[in-house]
């Protein structure tokens, strides 16, 4: 039996922007459901963060998600088991008030919401599912983990793994890996960058949501209950495009810009020896129907003397913040500062796009 794995799909992401609603629609209609149909996959396990905002819901996003995901799933005869992630629960210390129950549980017969640690059997293969762990369910979750072995899937916040590409969860923040060491394989949602350490594998999000996802290949996954293996299926659709501009080795006069239509575009300038060529290149991009065009030429006004000044090393906002914090002379916990700044940055970009 083959099962499709989804996680961190974030219905209503980026303030329920039409841009991201349409992008998610394309993923489901052009990539995910065609693959499931071609490979006769009839079941989904969703590892949390189905919805994006913990506190409220946008009806436009709900309507789109119903049309693009829930109805096609039902029409294709598919079922889904789902656990809540941290974005799916209203309170941080309990999973009790959960958007999955309020928005899916009372109306959908083909969706099974797993609210407590549970073992489900798929064609003879036991899979141990663990919802978001908080102070209220800590003891029951730890007892469940210690009592089982084999395949475990959850929505975990573990130390030392990349939250986004290049930015790790600092040690001392989140759980250690010890409660999961005895499992053959642990699969988790939550962090948007895919990574693996030992038996623990973060699947990463399936779609690009921020600049931190740019140039970071996204996948959904298929779990084979017979071989107990995972296959990563690439998502070919992208929304963020970086161009590293260097006219000392590239002629941009006839540079193919057609792939930039309908995307967020950032031109990172390394070498600009021909200002006329550069201006014409930017003018050509500006005439396209892009969602946004940013030009990164010089960060020097923002950087301290101890901070990186190489434009190739400081290519996005998270890199810039991390570089600045590394260069600041302070006794404060710099890893904690980075985590806080990344959290504030993610909150800010959620309000950026309407």
Residue range 268-283, pLDDT digits in tens: 999 999 999 999 999 9
Burial of 281 (0-12, 13-18, 19+ CB in 10 A): buried
Cβ count near 140 (within 10 Å):
13
pLDDT, tens digit, for every residue of 24-82? Answer: 999 999 999 999 999 999 999 999 999 999 888 899 999 999 999 999 999 999 999 99
Look up the pTM and report it.
Answer: 0.85
pLDDT given at position 286: 95
Tens digits of residue pLDDT in 221-240: 999 999 999 999 999 999 99
Task: Say what the pLDDT of residue 309 is.
Answer: 45
Q: What share of the chain is helix, strand, coil (3-state, %, to 5)?
A: 30, 25, 45
| Domain residue spans of the chain | 2-234, 240-352
297 torsion bin: left (phi>0), alpha (psi -120 to 50), beta (else): alpha
CATH number of 2-234: 3.60.21.10
**156, pLDDT greater than 90:** yes
pLDDT for 247: 95
pLDDT over 60 at 303, yes or no = no
> Which comes out higher in pLDDT, residue 327 or 56?
56
Q: Average pLDDT for residues 10-34, to the nearest whole number?
A: 97
- Check pLDDT > 90 for residue 148: yes
Least confident of 1-5, 225-229, 303-307: 303-307
DSSP-derived 3-state class of residue 160:
coil
- Give the integer Cα–Cα distance in Å for 139 and 137: 6
Up-side HSE of residue 334: CA atoms within 13 Å toward CB?
12
What percentage of the chain exceeds 70 in pLDDT? 91
Rounded to whole angstroms, the Cα distance separating 80 from 34 reads 17
What is the band of 346 on the pLDDT scale with cuts at 50, 70, 90?
low
Stated as kind and residue range, the H or E segment containing 4 is strand 2-6
Hey, is 59 helix, strand or coil? helix
């Amino acid at each position: 039996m083959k099962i499709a794995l989804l996680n961190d799909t974030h219905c209503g992401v980026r303030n329920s922007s039409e841009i991201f609603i349409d992008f998610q629609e394309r993923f489901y209609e052009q990539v995910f459901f065609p693959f499931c149909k071609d490979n006769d996959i009839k079941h989904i396990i969703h590892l949390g963060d189905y919805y994006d905002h913990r506190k409220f819901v946008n009806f436009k996003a709900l309507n789109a998600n119903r049309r693009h995901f829930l109805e096609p799933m039902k029409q294709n005869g598919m079922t889904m088991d789902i656990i809540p992630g941290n974005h799916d629960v209203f309170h941080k210390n309990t999973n009790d008030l959960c958007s999955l129950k309020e928005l899916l549980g009372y109306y959908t017969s083909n969706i099974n919401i797993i609210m407590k640690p549970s073992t489900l059997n798929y064609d003879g293969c036991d899979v141990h599912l663990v919802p978001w762990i908080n102070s209220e369910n800590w003891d029951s979750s730890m007892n469940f983990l210690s009592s089982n072995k084999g395949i475990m899937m959850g929505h975990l916040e573990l130390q030392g793994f990349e939250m986004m590409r290049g930015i790790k969860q600092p040690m001392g923040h989140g759980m250690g890996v010890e409660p999961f060491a005895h499992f053959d394989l642990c699969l988790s949602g939550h962090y948007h960058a895919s990574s693996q350490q030992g038996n623990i594998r973060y699947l990463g999000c399936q779609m690009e949501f921020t600049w931190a996802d740019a140039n970071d290949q996204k996948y959904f996954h298929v779990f084979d209950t017979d071989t107990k293996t995972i296959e990563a299926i690439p998502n070919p659709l992208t929304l963020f495009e970086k161009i590293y501009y260097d006219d000392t080795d590239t002629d941009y006069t006839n540079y193919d810009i057609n792939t930039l239509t309908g995307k967020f575009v950032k031109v990172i300038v390394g070498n600009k020896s021909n200002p006329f060529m550069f201006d014409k290149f930017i003018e050509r991009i500006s005439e396209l129907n892009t969602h946004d065009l940013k030009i990164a030429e010089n960060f020097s006004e923002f950087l301290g003397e101890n901070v990186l000044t190489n434009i190739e090393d400081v290519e996005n906002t998270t890199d810039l913040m991390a570089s600045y914090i590394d260069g600041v002379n302070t006794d404060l916990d710099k890893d904690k500062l980075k985590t806080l700044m990344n959290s504030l940055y993610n909150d800010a970009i959620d309000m950026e796009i309407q």
